[in-house]
C-alpha cells in the first residue's frame, strides 16, 4: 500500500520516528540501524511497510530498500514477527544479516533475544537463496557523537525492543561503567548481547 514516506522528521527516538508529510504526521517504527542513518537529518525518505493487525495498523520504516527487503524476508519466516525482525535489524547491520544467512551462520542469529535455535536455522534455510541475491554494498558505519542523553535513549530503545526497564537500565549502566564513550548504537548492541 505504502512504498515510502518523504517529509520532515518531527520527532526521533531509537525505535520510532514521526514523519510529517504535508501536515500529516505518520508514526513509523524503525530499527536502530535506520535510526543511526537518520539521526542527524531533519528530513528525508523512509521506505515503508504497513502491517495491519486486528487491533492496529503499524508502519515500519527503513532508511534503505535493502533493509526493507531483509525485514520482509525475516517476517516471512514462521516464528519471526515484525517486532523480532526489527530486533534483528537493530542487533545486526543488514550486511551482517545477509552474510550470516548466506553462509549458513545460524549461531549469529541465535545470540539475539527471542531467536531460538530452530527459528535461526529455519531463517537460514528459507532465506539463503532470497537474501543471497542482495548486494553487500552498504556504507561503512559512521561514528555517532556521544551525547548526555545516550544512556536514556539506550534504555528507551531497549524497552521498545521488549526488554524490561530495570533490566535495560542495569545492563546500560554496567556497559557505560566499562566503556563510557560508546555511541548509542554500540551501547544498545552491547546491551542486547548481555540481556
Structural domains in the chain, sorted by start: 4-62 (2.40.50.140), 65-132 (1.10.150.20), 150-194 (1.10.8)
Residue 191 — pLDDT band, cuts 50, 70, 90? Answer: confident
Residue 165 — pLDDT band, cuts 50, 70, 90? Answer: confident
Query: Which pLDDT belongs to residue 135?
Result: 44
pTM: 0.70
Residue 29 has pLDDT above 80, yes or no: yes
CA count, 13 A, side-chain hemisphere, 30: 29
Query: Which pLDDT belongs to residue 132?
Result: 66
- Phi, then psi, of 182 in degrees rounded to 5: -70, 150
Query: Which pLDDT belongs to residue 133?
Result: 66
Cβ-Cβ contacts under 8 Å for 135 (sequence gap 6 or more): 66
Query: Which pLDDT belongs to residue 156?
Result: 82
Query: Which pLDDT belongs to residue 195?
Result: 58
- Tens-place pLDDT, residues 33-55: 999 999 999 999 999 999 999 99
186-195 average pLDDT score = 80
Computed over every residue of the chain, the mean pLDDT equals 85
Residue 134 — pLDDT band, cuts 50, 70, 90? Answer: low
Angle, to 10 degrees, between the axis of helix 150-160 and the axis of helix 184-194?
50
Amino acid at each position: 500500500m505504502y512504498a515510502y514516506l518523504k517529509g520532515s522528521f518531527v520527532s526521533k527516538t531509537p525505535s520510532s520516528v514521526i514523519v510529517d508529510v504535508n501536515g500529516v504526521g505518520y508514526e513509523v517504527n524503525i530499527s536502530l540501524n535506520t535510526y543511526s542513518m537518520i539521526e542527524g537529518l531533519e528530513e528525508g525518505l523512509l521506505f515503508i511497510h504497513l502491517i495491519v493487525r486486528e487491533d492496529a495498523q503499524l508502519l515500519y520504516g527503513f532508511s534503505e530498500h535493502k533493509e526493507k527487503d531483509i525485514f520482509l524476508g525475516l517476517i516471512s519466516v514462521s516464528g519471526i514477527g515484525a517486532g523480532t525482525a526489527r530486533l534483528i535489524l537493530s542487533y545486526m547491520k543488514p550486511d551482517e544479516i545477509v552474510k550470516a544467512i548466506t553462509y549458513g551462520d545460524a549461531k549469529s542469529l541465535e545470540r539475539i533475544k527471542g531467536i531460538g535455535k530452530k527459528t535461526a536455522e529455519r531463517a537460514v534455510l528459507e532465506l539463503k537463496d532470497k537474501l543471497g541475491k542482495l548486494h553487500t554494498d552498504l556504507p561503512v558505519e559512521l561514528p555517532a557523537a556521544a551525547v548526555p542523553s545516550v544512556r536514556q535513549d539506550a534504555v528507551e530503545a531497549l524497552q521498545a525492543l521488549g526488554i524490561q526497564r530495570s533490566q535495560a537500565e542495569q545492563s546500560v549502566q554496567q556497559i557505560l561503567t566499562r566503556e563510557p564513550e560508546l555511541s548509542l548504537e554500540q551501547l544498545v548492541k552491547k546491551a542486547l548481547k548481555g540481556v
